[in-house]
Structure formats: C-alpha cells, structure tokens
Amino acid sequence: MGCLALPRNPEGHVLLVEKIYQKAEGNPRPWGMVGGSANANETLHNALCREFEEETGIVIGTPGRLLVFDYVPARRYAEGYNFVFDTPVLATDTKITLPAGELSDCRFVPPGELDQYMSDHGVRRARAVLKAMEEDTFIELEDGHPVT
C-alpha cells in the first residue's frame, strides 16, 4: 500500500521529488509524489507521516483528508493500492532534507508542467489529486484513470 502526498506552496505549485531508482532505470521523467509504502501493521496516516518526514525532513503531524485512491495492477512492479492524502501548504522557502541514496532532487512545479517531470500515470494521478482538492471531493482511480 502506497501512502502519498502532493504538497503545494502558496502559489499552487506542487512539490515533486526525483527518484534515484527511476533515473537508474533510464526513466526520462523520474519525478513523483512524496511518500512510499506502508510497513506491516502500520496505519495509512502513520505511514504517510513517516514517509513524508523521511523524504523531506518535515514533520506534518496528522495528514489531511484522503483525496485519491488509485489501484495499480501488476505490470512491471507489484500490484498496488495507493492512497493520496492532503497535507499542509508549505512555504516556498521551506527547508527540505532529501534522503541520500533514495531521492536526488526536489522542486515546486507549476501544475501545467507536470508532464515534463512525471510519467503519464503520475500526471493522471496528480491531476486527479489537484481536482479533488479544488472540488473538495474524493476520486477513485484505476491505473490513474477515473473509475466510472
């Protein structure tokens, strides 16, 4: 189970992280959301808080509401269930500490530029998250596509 967040700054830009393993695999767009997998017997909220702190050095306390659920079938990686939560808005000059060996960079990106950084699936998921924030709703996805 993946616990993810798409933090934003006051200008509405979203924080993306560059994943070293994606770069090593030759992915031309190795950026993604903050977060990772829940451990055994770990709640989703605890997993998100832990992953957020591990990947950014920022303690967020209790995550906001669940924005998006995205089921990803097994393909190149294992089958996954991804939960994306809201988080507090971060100041643009927030000090971010990346974990060595896992992430190589981070930056706030305007939503219109997501396709320059993220995979097609990542862009679909991120746009759903932004829509859920804007419309104060919850969105269910399958492989990044809305469930109808």
The tens digit of pLDDT for each residue in 109-134 reads: 999 999 999 999 999 999 999 999 99
Q: What is the mean pLDDT of residues 53-75?
A: 93
Which pLDDT value is given to residue 11?
Answer: 97
Q: What is the mean pLDDT of residues 29-47?
A: 96
Q: Is 96 left (phi over 0), alpha (psi -120 to 50) or beta?
A: beta
Positive or negative torsion for Cα 60, 62, 68, 74:
positive
Which pLDDT value is given to residue 76?
Answer: 65
Does residue 66 contact residue 102 with C-beta atoms inside 8 Å? no
pTM, 2 dp: 0.94
Every domain of the chain and the residues it spans: 2-146
pLDDT at 28 over 90: yes
Which pLDDT value is given to residue 78?
Answer: 74
Coil, strand or helix: which one is 45? helix
pLDDT tens-digit series, residues 71-115: 999 876 778 999 999 999 999 899 999 999 999 999 999 999 999
In percent, the amount of the chain with pLDDT more than 70 equals: 99
Is CATH 3.90.79.10 the classification given to domain 2-146? yes
